Amino acid sequence: MNQVYLDHNATSPLRPVALEAMREALSLGANASSVHGPGRRARALVETARETLAGLVGAPLEAVTFTGSGTEADNLAVSSLVNAAGCRRLLISGVEHDAVWAPAHESGAAVEIIPVSSEGVVDVGWLEARLDAWDAVEGPPGVAVMVANNETGVIQPIADVARRVRDAGGYLLVDGVQGLGKLRLDMTALGAHYLTLSAHKLGGPHGAGALIAAAEAPLIRQLHGGGQERGRRAGTENVAAIVGFAAAAREASEAREAQAPALAGLRDALESRIAAARPDVTFFGAQAPRLTNTSCFGAPGFASETQVMSLDLAGFAVSAGAACSSGKVKASRALMAMGADETLAACALRVSLGWTSTARDVEAFAAAWLTAAERVIPQHAA
């Protein structure tokens, strides 16, 4: 049975343009640090990809450091905040991905959580007041707020956050992993010091990410070895993945303006259909600015795991909020930060659309979800 794939925020299927570019790169089979002809060709591919990525986010070439994942880029940025910029206290939003959350808590710096509203938007007033009361003994403030949440799609007011952080002499890390290809991400407009990206969220391959660092943002290497990536990230470059990353990012960004409203139409149709049939469903973050491809909702009594499994059997690939690597689902930290009831958070399902999604897929999914819900939590039970 062919699965209908509605889990683009976990991984968006590889775009043909990326596959084609990677095939060519793989057939080169040379090390981008080698000085011979094939090595120089591999190097040229990496540098062309760097140009593409830099152009897409409005940054100079030297701002781009390729990494092996979005997680690695986030770790590199958090480590740079603490160990290069001298931040001894980090303020991170309550909805950050584990790729920021975990290294922040492991960094040795004190960590404070920036609250979010019930719609999942960071409290900029809280941040401003906290920065006003900053104690210089703690070094410059290190702040992390993501562009858009992977579970709810809620978009954060990054430029507002950046203004406050810069006025306070701090540094801002923006996890842009769910943003590239879905939103305009421009380093200057965002005001970020560090911006992190990942290839597989936009139809590129696994195993490629990037950290974009503003000129005034200090970096410290985490991987020691060769002098790749200007000494910022040792390790032989994954040339094919980097090339696929750039090809996918270019196509996703070019298609963005046409695709975003189309996806919003599909997402809204899905939510309207479910809401009309099931008034007991809560749509998380629905009143906030959201990525047009993402819907996160829950009905009390219909556990996330049950939903994922029964929809899988019915031929639909969706996810229970954050996809945990162990395959286990725990109540979502992001939803809890939004004040969701724990039992409802344990019933959250995430549907995330992308370049392969069609109206027919979404209609079929809505029908299948309603059937499954009726089986587990009948509305008119005696």
Q: Which residues bind ligand PLP (CB under 6 A)?
A: 69-71, 74, 97, 99, 146, 150, 175, 177-178, 198, 200, 209
Q: Please, which residue, 260 or 275, has the CB nearer to ligand PLP? A: 260
**For the chain, how long is the longest CA-to-CA vector?**
77
* Shortest distance (Å) from residue 382 CB to ligand PLP: 43
- Three-point CA angle 208, 211, 213, nearest 5°: 160
Least separation in angstroms between residue 177's CB and ligand PLP is: 4
Nearer to ligand PLP, 180 or 372 (CB): 180
Cβ at position 322, least distance to ligand PLP in Å: 7
**Closer by beta carbon to ligand PLP, 75 or else 310:** 75
> Please, what is the minimum distance in Å from the beta carbon of residue 5 to ligand PLP?
16
Q: Which of 87, 296, 324, 347 is catalytic?
A: 324
**What secondary structure, in 3-state letters, does the chain show?**
CCCEECECCCCCCCCHHHHHHHHHHHHHCCCCCCCCHHHHHHHHHHHHHHHHHHHHCCCCHHHEEEECCHHHHHHHHHHHHHHCCCCCEEEEECCCCHHHHHHHHHCCCEEEEECECCCCCECHHHHHHHHHCCCHHHCCCEEECCCECCCCCEECCHHHHHHHHHHCCCEEEEECCCCECCECCCHHHHCCCEEEEEHHHCCCCCCCEEEEECCCCCCCCCCCCCCCHHHCCCCCCCHHHHHHHHHHHHHHHHHHHHHHHHHHHHHHHHHHHHHHHCCCCEECCCCCCECCCEEEEECCCCCHHHHHHHHHHCCEECECCCCCCCCCCCCCHHHHHCCCCHHHHCCEEEEECCCCCCHHHHHHHHHHHHHHHHHHCCCCCC
- The nearest distance, CB 194 to ligand PLP, in angstroms, is 13
Taking CB positions, which residue lies at the least distance from ligand PLP?
70
Q: Is the CB of 245 or the CB of 369 nearer to ligand PLP? A: 245
Q: Which of 196, 307 has the CB closer to ligand PLP?
A: 196
Active-site residue, 324 included: yes
- Which C-beta is closer to ligand PLP: that of 178 or that of 259? 178
Q: How far is the CB of 323 from ligand PLP (least distance, A)?
A: 7
Catalytic residues: 324
